[in-house]
Amino acid sequence: MRKFGLIGYPLGHSFSKKHFSAKFEKEGIEAEYELYPLENIEEFPALVKNTKGLEGINVTIPYKESVMKFLDGVDEKAAAIGAVNTIKIQKGKLRGYNTDYLGFKTSLVKFIGANPMPTNALILGTGGASKAVQTALSDLGIEFKLISRRPQDGQLTYKDFNKPTPEHLDTYKLIINTTPLGMAPKIESLPDLPYQQLTPDHFLYDLVYNPLSTAFMQKGIETKCWVKNGLEMLHGQAEASWEIWNK
């Protein structure tokens, strides 16, 4: 039996097993997809060694960057992004890829649709998923600013929107949440932004997809913004992972 799975922690929110299990059943594929919650990324080598038949792994929060040290090779695009969310295991060798990039970029273009592509974006979070989003925006010619709880040079904090001469959300027509804020079971949490500044010209994209309508998205709905969750991105990156595992 071919085996695939997902590592991260925690994994109670994930739809990946549901997605792949349904795919395998529908297409008559003899394979199984399991969740492997790892409290520490140092558990990863033992998982690979002890799981017979394991051919591919998806990676989610918080290990998209830290897993890279265990890989034998990394795809050029994933290396440029600096994060891996897909691993192919072949002949005992582990090679990393990033399908978040493609899943997000394709989904974002559909989301904007016939509207003019925003020229400026605000990215909430600086982790592995954020790195894929940053690369996608750069390739689409969209300038962006990052918000981080531990900002580095050129990055913003949430407090920057509450200063005497604050940043203003109107500068950023596209706002992308790459943090786990709002993810089940803590569905009431959301990024600390001045949501009263939102307008119907704003696009809010939340990479969280469980729940399907997050507290972040609800703030956008209340001000008649365009909103989207990360479910389409999940499906897109999952299908791209499947192609990698089978080529």
Question: Token pair of 65, please?
Answer: 């960057």
Q: How distant, in Å, are the alpha carbons of 42, 173, 214, 240 from that of 169? A: 40, 7, 19, 33
Q: Which residues are catalytic?
A: 64
From first CA to last CA, the distance across the chain in angstroms is 18
User: Does residue 190 contact residue 211 with C-beta atoms inside 8 Å?
Assistant: no
Question: Token pair of 98, please?
Answer: 């990033």
Residue 217: name the closest of 202, 230, 229 by CA: 229
Write the DSSP string, 183-207.
-TT-TT------GGG--TT-EEEES
